[in-house]
Amino acid sequence: MTGVAWPAIVAIGVGTLLLRASFLYLYERIDLPPRGERALELVPAAVLSALVAPSLLAPEGAVAVVGNDRLVAGVAALVVAWTTENIFATLAVGFVVLLGLQYLV
């Protein structure tokens, strides 16, 4: 690496740290309206959906509905999560269905 690369990497790292720390610091000192707090409560679900949806709908890079074992396992896990609200059962059913579809079919 050149002599400019390391200072740039350190500066980007420090900038990222300061940006993330500012949210923690400011959140304690600023009173958010109820609507803002409600919006922040929905962020984890939105992030999780954004991470999971592409791997379920497009495991090979292109959207595949027919013959998509991950989508079937995800729907089965979704049904279990919705009905039982049990994380262990949801994970277990998702894994069992996915492994069953991959190894039995």
Residue 73 lies in a domain: yes
- SS3 readout for 18-35: HHHHHHHHHHHHCCCCHH
State how many domains the chain has: 2
In a domain? residue 35: no
Q: Tell me whether residue 77 is in a domain.
A: yes
Least Cα distance to 96 among 80, 78, 73 occurs for: 73
Which residues constitute the domain of residue 9?
1-30
State whether 51 and 100 are in the same domain: yes
pTM: 0.62
36 in any annotated domain: no
Is residue 49 domain-shared with residue 15, that is, in the same domain? no
Q: Residue 90 contacts by C-beta under 8 Å, 6 or more apart in sequence?
A: 77, 80, 81, 84
Ramachandran area for residue 85 (φ above 0: left; ψ -120 to 50: alpha; else beta): left
pLDDT in tens, the chain (105 residues): 667 888 999 999 999 999 988 878 887 788 888 898 898 899 988 998 899 888 888 877 778 778 888 999 999 999 999 999 999 999 999 999 999 998 986
Q: CA of 3: how far to CAs of 12, 13, 15, 24, 77, in Å? A: 15, 17, 19, 33, 51
